[in-house]
Amino acid sequence: MSPLHLLEIKNLTKHFGGLAAVDNISFQADEGEIIGIIGPNGAGKTTLFNLISGFLKPDSGTMKLRGENITGLEPHKIVNKGIARTFQVVRPFRHLPVIANVMVALRSPRGARKIEWLKTIERKAADLLEDVGLSEMMLEPAENMGHGTLKRLEMARALATEPDLLMLDEPFGGLNPLETDFLTKSLMRMHLDEPTRCILIVEHKLYALMKIVSRVVVLHQGEKIAEGTPEEIAQNDRVIEVYMGKGIQDA
Protein backbone atom coordinates (compact mmCIF):
# COMPACT_ATOMS: atom_id res chain seq x y z
CA MET A 1 0.00 0.00 0.00
CA SER A 2 1.30 3.36 -0.87
CA PRO A 3 1.20 5.83 1.98
CA LEU A 4 -0.44 8.42 -0.23
CA HIS A 5 -4.18 8.42 -0.68
CA LEU A 6 -5.50 8.82 -4.22
CA LEU A 7 -7.71 11.68 -3.17
CA GLU A 8 -7.45 13.35 0.19
CA ILE A 9 -9.92 16.03 1.16
CA LYS A 10 -9.33 18.03 4.32
CA ASN A 11 -11.72 20.48 5.98
CA LEU A 12 -13.32 21.50 2.69
CA THR A 13 -15.76 24.37 3.13
CA LYS A 14 -17.94 26.32 0.70
CA HIS A 15 -20.44 29.00 1.64
CA PHE A 16 -23.19 30.39 -0.58
CA GLY A 17 -24.03 33.64 1.17
CA GLY A 18 -24.75 32.65 4.74
CA LEU A 19 -25.47 29.02 3.89
CA ALA A 20 -22.71 26.50 4.34
CA ALA A 21 -23.29 24.18 1.36
CA VAL A 22 -20.23 22.11 2.23
CA ASP A 23 -19.07 22.45 5.79
CA ASN A 24 -15.72 21.17 6.95
CA ILE A 25 -15.79 17.86 5.11
CA SER A 26 -12.81 15.51 5.20
CA PHE A 27 -12.48 12.08 3.66
CA GLN A 28 -10.06 9.96 1.70
CA ALA A 29 -10.46 7.82 -1.37
CA ASP A 30 -8.00 5.08 -2.28
CA GLU A 31 -7.28 3.22 -5.48
CA GLY A 32 -9.79 0.58 -6.41
CA GLU A 33 -12.57 1.79 -4.17
CA ILE A 34 -16.14 2.49 -5.18
CA ILE A 35 -17.44 5.14 -2.84
CA GLY A 36 -21.05 6.24 -2.65
CA ILE A 37 -21.90 9.72 -1.46
CA ILE A 38 -25.48 9.87 -0.24
CA GLY A 39 -27.67 12.30 1.59
CA PRO A 40 -31.07 13.97 1.35
CA ASN A 41 -31.78 16.83 -1.04
CA GLY A 42 -29.66 19.90 -0.34
CA ALA A 43 -27.06 17.92 1.58
CA GLY A 44 -24.27 19.41 -0.53
CA LYS A 45 -23.39 16.35 -2.62
CA THR A 46 -23.32 18.11 -5.97
CA THR A 47 -21.50 21.09 -4.47
CA LEU A 48 -18.86 18.71 -3.17
CA PHE A 49 -18.54 17.29 -6.68
CA ASN A 50 -18.23 20.73 -8.21
CA LEU A 51 -15.51 21.57 -5.69
CA ILE A 52 -13.50 18.44 -6.43
CA SER A 53 -13.80 18.89 -10.19
CA GLY A 54 -12.82 22.55 -9.98
CA PHE A 55 -16.08 24.11 -11.19
CA LEU A 56 -16.34 25.86 -7.82
CA LYS A 57 -13.50 27.26 -5.75
CA PRO A 58 -13.54 26.24 -2.06
CA ASP A 59 -13.57 28.94 0.64
CA SER A 60 -11.13 26.94 2.74
CA GLY A 61 -9.66 23.45 2.97
CA THR A 62 -7.37 21.47 0.72
CA MET A 63 -7.71 18.70 -1.87
CA LYS A 64 -4.80 16.49 -2.75
CA LEU A 65 -4.50 14.00 -5.60
CA ARG A 66 -1.70 11.54 -4.84
CA GLY A 67 -0.19 14.11 -2.48
CA GLU A 68 -0.30 16.87 -5.06
CA ASN A 69 -2.31 19.91 -4.13
CA ILE A 70 -5.12 20.48 -6.64
CA THR A 71 -7.12 23.06 -4.67
CA GLY A 72 -8.40 25.89 -6.83
CA LEU A 73 -7.11 24.56 -10.15
CA GLU A 74 -9.04 25.17 -13.38
CA PRO A 75 -11.50 22.36 -14.28
CA HIS A 76 -9.64 21.31 -17.43
CA LYS A 77 -6.37 21.05 -15.52
CA ILE A 78 -8.00 18.83 -12.92
CA VAL A 79 -9.37 16.59 -15.69
CA ASN A 80 -5.88 16.31 -17.11
CA LYS A 81 -4.55 15.35 -13.69
CA GLY A 82 -6.91 12.39 -13.75
CA ILE A 83 -10.29 13.29 -12.29
CA ALA A 84 -13.21 13.04 -14.71
CA ARG A 85 -16.86 13.66 -13.98
CA THR A 86 -20.34 13.39 -15.39
CA PHE A 87 -23.18 15.80 -14.78
CA GLN A 88 -26.44 15.33 -12.94
CA VAL A 89 -28.33 16.97 -15.80
CA VAL A 90 -26.86 15.59 -19.03
CA ARG A 91 -24.72 18.00 -21.01
CA PRO A 92 -24.01 16.47 -24.41
CA PHE A 93 -22.70 18.47 -27.38
CA ARG A 94 -26.01 18.50 -29.20
CA HIS A 95 -24.74 19.63 -32.60
CA LEU A 96 -22.20 16.83 -32.81
CA PRO A 97 -22.72 13.15 -33.60
CA VAL A 98 -22.36 10.71 -30.72
CA ILE A 99 -18.87 9.60 -31.71
CA ALA A 100 -17.66 13.21 -32.03
CA ASN A 101 -18.78 13.84 -28.46
CA VAL A 102 -16.23 11.30 -27.31
CA MET A 103 -13.61 12.55 -29.75
CA VAL A 104 -13.70 15.97 -28.10
CA ALA A 105 -12.56 14.41 -24.85
CA LEU A 106 -9.88 12.51 -26.75
CA ARG A 107 -8.56 15.85 -28.00
CA SER A 108 -7.68 16.88 -24.43
CA PRO A 109 -4.00 16.42 -23.46
CA ARG A 110 -4.74 13.46 -21.20
CA GLY A 111 -7.13 11.86 -23.64
CA ALA A 112 -4.63 12.23 -26.48
CA ARG A 113 -1.87 10.74 -24.33
CA LYS A 114 -3.81 7.53 -23.98
CA ILE A 115 -4.19 6.95 -27.71
CA GLU A 116 -1.69 4.26 -28.50
CA TRP A 117 0.43 4.20 -31.56
CA LEU A 118 -1.32 3.34 -34.81
CA LYS A 119 -4.71 3.71 -33.21
CA THR A 120 -6.68 6.59 -34.57
CA ILE A 121 -8.83 8.86 -32.49
CA GLU A 122 -11.92 7.52 -34.27
CA ARG A 123 -11.04 3.90 -33.46
CA LYS A 124 -10.48 4.77 -29.83
CA ALA A 125 -13.78 6.66 -29.66
CA ALA A 126 -15.59 3.74 -31.28
CA ASP A 127 -14.05 1.34 -28.75
CA LEU A 128 -15.17 3.51 -25.86
CA LEU A 129 -18.69 3.69 -27.25
CA GLU A 130 -18.78 -0.06 -27.66
CA ASP A 131 -17.91 -0.43 -23.98
CA VAL A 132 -21.03 1.46 -22.97
CA GLY A 133 -23.15 -0.23 -25.65
CA LEU A 134 -23.65 2.69 -28.01
CA SER A 135 -21.81 1.42 -31.06
CA GLU A 136 -25.00 1.18 -33.12
CA MET A 137 -25.86 4.86 -32.88
CA MET A 138 -22.37 6.25 -33.27
CA LEU A 139 -23.14 8.53 -36.20
CA GLU A 140 -26.50 9.85 -35.05
CA PRO A 141 -26.62 13.44 -33.83
CA ALA A 142 -26.61 13.62 -30.04
CA GLU A 143 -29.75 15.77 -30.03
CA ASN A 144 -31.84 12.82 -31.23
CA MET A 145 -30.78 10.61 -28.31
CA GLY A 146 -32.87 9.71 -25.29
CA HIS A 147 -31.97 10.49 -21.73
CA GLY A 148 -30.62 7.08 -20.83
CA THR A 149 -28.43 7.01 -23.93
CA LEU A 150 -27.05 10.43 -23.14
CA LYS A 151 -26.17 9.28 -19.61
CA ARG A 152 -24.15 6.45 -21.11
CA LEU A 153 -22.61 8.82 -23.63
CA GLU A 154 -21.49 11.09 -20.80
CA MET A 155 -19.88 8.13 -19.11
CA ALA A 156 -18.00 7.21 -22.28
CA ARG A 157 -16.87 10.82 -22.55
CA ALA A 158 -15.60 10.82 -18.99
CA LEU A 159 -13.82 7.51 -19.53
CA ALA A 160 -12.11 8.87 -22.65
CA THR A 161 -9.57 10.71 -20.50
CA GLU A 162 -8.81 7.44 -18.65
CA PRO A 163 -9.30 8.97 -15.23
CA ASP A 164 -7.82 7.63 -12.00
CA LEU A 165 -10.85 8.97 -10.22
CA LEU A 166 -14.23 8.84 -11.92
CA MET A 167 -17.01 10.91 -10.42
CA LEU A 168 -20.57 10.06 -11.42
CA ASP A 169 -23.26 12.55 -10.45
CA GLU A 170 -26.51 10.60 -10.11
CA PRO A 171 -25.78 8.09 -12.88
CA PHE A 172 -29.05 6.23 -12.19
CA GLY A 173 -31.20 9.36 -12.26
CA GLY A 174 -34.06 9.05 -14.72
CA LEU A 175 -33.15 5.55 -15.85
CA ASN A 176 -35.69 2.76 -16.11
CA PRO A 177 -35.03 -0.52 -14.25
CA LEU A 178 -33.54 -2.15 -17.35
CA GLU A 179 -31.09 0.68 -17.89
CA THR A 180 -30.26 0.77 -14.20
CA ASP A 181 -29.43 -2.89 -14.33
CA PHE A 182 -27.28 -2.40 -17.43
CA LEU A 183 -25.39 0.47 -15.81
CA THR A 184 -24.80 -1.48 -12.60
CA LYS A 185 -23.38 -4.35 -14.62
CA SER A 186 -21.18 -2.13 -16.74
CA LEU A 187 -19.88 -0.36 -13.64
CA MET A 188 -18.99 -3.73 -12.11
CA ARG A 189 -17.29 -4.81 -15.32
CA MET A 190 -15.39 -1.54 -15.47
CA HIS A 191 -14.26 -2.08 -11.91
CA LEU A 192 -12.91 -5.49 -12.84
CA ASP A 193 -11.18 -4.19 -15.97
CA GLU A 194 -9.51 -1.28 -14.23
CA PRO A 195 -9.08 -2.43 -10.64
CA THR A 196 -7.03 0.61 -9.63
CA ARG A 197 -9.59 3.17 -10.71
CA CYS A 198 -11.55 4.78 -7.92
CA ILE A 199 -15.19 5.65 -8.55
CA LEU A 200 -17.18 8.23 -6.61
CA ILE A 201 -20.94 8.02 -7.03
CA VAL A 202 -23.52 10.50 -5.85
CA GLU A 203 -26.89 8.82 -5.81
CA HIS A 204 -30.44 8.93 -4.52
CA LYS A 205 -31.39 5.41 -5.52
CA LEU A 206 -29.89 3.62 -2.55
CA TYR A 207 -31.04 0.19 -3.65
CA ALA A 208 -28.96 0.29 -6.84
CA LEU A 209 -26.08 2.00 -5.13
CA MET A 210 -25.65 -0.22 -2.09
CA LYS A 211 -25.04 -3.28 -4.28
CA ILE A 212 -21.90 -1.91 -5.87
CA VAL A 213 -20.18 0.42 -3.43
CA SER A 214 -17.51 -0.61 -0.96
CA ARG A 215 -17.83 2.45 1.26
CA VAL A 216 -20.47 5.11 1.82
CA VAL A 217 -20.14 8.71 2.94
CA VAL A 218 -23.33 10.29 4.24
CA LEU A 219 -23.81 14.05 4.03
CA HIS A 220 -26.50 16.09 5.71
CA GLN A 221 -26.83 19.88 5.48
CA GLY A 222 -23.26 20.18 4.29
CA GLU A 223 -21.73 18.07 7.00
CA LYS A 224 -20.44 14.53 6.96
CA ILE A 225 -22.52 12.60 9.47
CA ALA A 226 -21.35 9.05 8.83
CA GLU A 227 -18.89 6.96 6.88
CA GLY A 228 -18.53 3.21 6.58
CA THR A 229 -19.48 0.06 4.70
CA PRO A 230 -23.03 -0.19 3.35
CA GLU A 231 -23.99 -2.55 6.19
CA GLU A 232 -22.72 -0.17 8.84
CA ILE A 233 -24.51 2.75 7.27
CA ALA A 234 -27.78 0.84 7.10
CA GLN A 235 -27.55 0.28 10.86
CA ASN A 236 -26.48 3.82 11.70
CA ASP A 237 -29.10 5.60 13.85
CA ARG A 238 -28.16 9.07 12.72
CA VAL A 239 -28.50 8.10 9.05
CA ILE A 240 -31.88 6.51 9.61
CA GLU A 241 -32.97 9.60 11.47
CA VAL A 242 -31.91 11.85 8.63
CA TYR A 243 -33.58 9.75 5.96
CA MET A 244 -36.73 8.57 7.73
CA GLY A 245 -37.31 11.24 10.37
CA LYS A 246 -37.03 10.96 14.12
CA GLY A 247 -40.25 9.21 15.03
CA ILE A 248 -39.46 5.97 13.26
CA GLN A 249 -37.59 4.37 16.16
CA ASP A 250 -40.35 5.14 18.66
CA ALA A 251 -43.04 3.71 16.43
**Closest CB to other proteins among residues 132, 208:** 132
Helix, strand, coil percent values for the chain (each to nearest 5) = 40, 25, 35
Amino acid at 147: H
Give, in order, the Cα–Cα distances in Å from 26 to each of 8, 13, 61, 230: 8, 10, 9, 19
Residue 45 near other proteins by CB under 8 A: no
Q: If binding means CB under 8 A, how many residues of this protein chain bind other proteins?
A: 32
Q: Confirm or reject binding of residue 107 to other proteins (CB under 8 A).
A: yes
Residue closer to other proteins (CB basis): 57 or 185: 57
Of the candidates 86, 52, 35, 37, the residue with the CA atom closest to the CA atom of residue 202: 37
Which one among 6, 25, 44, 87 touches other proteins, defined by CB under 8 A? 87
The contacts of residue 171 (CB under 8 Å, 6+ apart) are 86, 151, 155, 183, 187, 201, 203
Cβ of 251: how many Cβ atoms within 10 Å? 6
For residues 166 and 213, which CB has a smaller minimum distance to other proteins in the complex? 166
Q: Verify binding: residue 100, other proteins, rule CB under 8 A.
A: yes
The smaller minimum CB distance to other proteins, of residues 96 and 206, is found at 96
> What residues line the site for other proteins (CB under 8 A)?
53, 55, 74-76, 79-80, 84-87, 91-96, 100-101, 103-105, 107-111, 121, 157-158, 160-161
